[in-house]
Amino acid sequence: MTTSTIPIKISTKAIAQEFLDKYDTFLFDCDGVLWLGSHLLPSVKETLNLLEESGKKVMFVTNNSTKSRAAYTKKFASFGIKATQEQIFTSGYAAAVYVRDFLQLTPGKDKVWVFGETGISEELKLMGIDSLGGADPRLLESFDPETSPFLKDGLDPAVTCVIAGLDTKISYHKLAMTLKYLQQDGVKFVGTNVDSTFPQKGHILPGAGSMVESIAFAAGKKPVYCGKPNQNMLNSIASVMDLDRSRTCMVGDRLNTDMRFGTEGNLGGTLLVLTGIETEERALQKSDEYPTPKYYAEKLGDVYELTH
Catalytically active residues are 29, 31
Nearest to a copy of itself of 146, 281 (CB atom): 146
Does the annotation place 288 within a ligand binding site? no
Candidates 61-69, 74-82, 214-222, 224-232; binding stretch for a copy of itself (CB under 8 A): 214-222
Q: For residue 286, how many C-alpha atoms fall within 13 Å in the half-sphere facing its CB?
A: 6
Contact criterion met (CB below 8 Å) for 209 and 196: yes
Q: Is 114 in the site for a copy of itself (CB under 8 A)?
A: no
Nearest to a copy of itself of 173, 228 (CB atom): 173
Applying CB under 8 A, among 197, 246, 285, 287 the residue interacting with a copy of itself is 197
Q: Is 12 in the site for a copy of itself (CB under 8 A)?
A: no
Helix (H) or strand (E) holding 270: strand 269-273
Least Å distance, CB 36 to a copy of itself, is: 15
DSSP per-residue letters across 59-108: EEEE---SS-HHHHHHHHHHTT----GGGEEEHHHHHHHIIIIIS---TT
Measured distance CA(50)–CA(39) in Å, rounded: 21
Candidates 61-69, 197-205, 225-233, 274-282; binding stretch for a copy of itself (CB under 8 A): 197-205
Q: Is 221 in the site for a copy of itself (CB under 8 A)?
A: no
Does the annotation place 31 within a ligand binding site? yes
Measured distance CA(256)–CA(120) in Å, rounded: 24
Q: Is 227 in the site for a copy of itself (CB under 8 A)?
A: no
Nearest to a copy of itself of 88, 164 (CB atom): 164
Span between the terminal Cα atoms of the chain, in Å = 35
Does the annotation place 228 within a ligand binding site? yes
Measured distance CA(109)–CA(93) in Å, rounded: 19
Q: For residue 39, how many C-alpha atoms fall within 13 Å in the half-sphere facing its CB?
A: 8
Sheet holding 188-191, edge to edge: 130-133, 111-115, 159-164, 188-191, 224-225
3-state secondary structure 167-179: CCCCCHHHHHHHH
Q: Is 196 in the site for a copy of itself (CB under 8 A)?
A: yes
Measuring CA to CA, which residue among 206, 124, 193, 208 is closest to residue 160? 124
Q: Is 183 in the site for a copy of itself (CB under 8 A)?
A: yes
Q: Is 215 in the site for a copy of itself (CB under 8 A)?
A: yes
Contact criterion met (CB below 8 Å) for 13 and 305: no
- Quickly count: other Cβ atoms within 10 Å of residue 122's Cβ: 20
Q: Is 168 in the site for a copy of itself (CB under 8 A)?
A: yes
Nearest to a copy of itself of 1, 170 (CB atom): 170
Candidates 43-51, 54-62, 79-87, 217-225; binding stretch for a copy of itself (CB under 8 A): 217-225
Applying CB under 8 A, among 53, 157, 201, 279 the residue interacting with a copy of itself is 201
Q: Sort 149 into a burial class: Cβ within 10 Å, 0-12 / 13-18 / 19+.
A: exposed
Q: Is 211 in the site for a copy of itself (CB under 8 A)?
A: yes
Nearest to a copy of itself of 225, 296 (CB atom): 225
Contact criterion met (CB below 8 Å) for 72 and 45: no
By CB under 8 A, the residues from 123 to 162 that bind a copy of itself are 142-143, 145-146
Does the annotation place 185 within a ligand binding site? no
Q: Is 118 in the site for a copy of itself (CB under 8 A)?
A: no
Which residues line the annotated binding site? Answer: 29, 31, 228, 253
Q: Which positions make up the binding site for substrate? A: 228
Site residues (vs a copy of itself, CB under 8 A): 142-143, 145-146, 167-172, 175-176, 179-180, 183, 196-197, 200-207, 209-211, 213-215, 217-218, 220
